[in-house]
Amino acid sequence: MSRNAKINALLLLAVAALAVLPLVLGLGDHKKEPFTGADAEAETAITEIEPDYEPWFSPLYEPPSGEIESALFALQAALGAGVLAYYFGLRRGRRQGEERASAAAPRDTPGGD
């Protein structure tokens, strides 16, 4: 197994552990909704500290359900990942093209007329 394959396997194992460990350890079992987002956690903390708090502004669009909100968030994440993948792929392709062009270019040899 090559060094890169070992590193990739370890990274994959770490990501899987990060996804599974909170479920196995029961983190969040004491909460009504254990895996809510940071926005909901912040809203809960603010209303506990200051019950009369009024937000400064309201969202431009409020999805009708949590499922639609999750779908829009997943779409946003997918678009961001696609943009990053395109950028890194383009960068790698340009680098490989430059390497091929420099390898294919005729080289000057001393005294080789």
- Digit-coded pLDDT (tens) for 17-58: 998 887 788 776 676 766 667 777 888 889 899 989 888 888
Residue 29 CA to residue 21 CA, distance in Å, equals: 13
User: pLDDT of 58-87, one tens digit each?
Assistant: 888 888 988 898 899 999 999 999 999 999
Per-residue confidence at 95, pLDDT binned at 50, 70, 90?
very high
Chain-centroid distance, C-alpha 59: 24
Q: How confident is the model at residue 13 (pLDDT cuts 50, 70, 90)?
A: very high
CA distance 23 to 26: 5
Is the pTM higher than 0.85? The answer reads no
- Residues near 53 by beta carbon (within 8 Å), at least 6 away in sequence: 46, 47
59 vs 107, which has greater pLDDT? 59
Say whether pLDDT at 112 is over 60.
no
Query: What's residue 77's pLDDT?
Result: 96
- What end-to-end distance do the CA atoms of the chain give, in Å? 48
pLDDT category of residue 113 using cuts at 50, 70 and 90: low
Going from the C-alpha of 67 to that of each of 40, 59, 60, 70, the distances in angstroms are 15, 17, 18, 5
Retrieve residue 77's tokens.
Answer: 């994440």
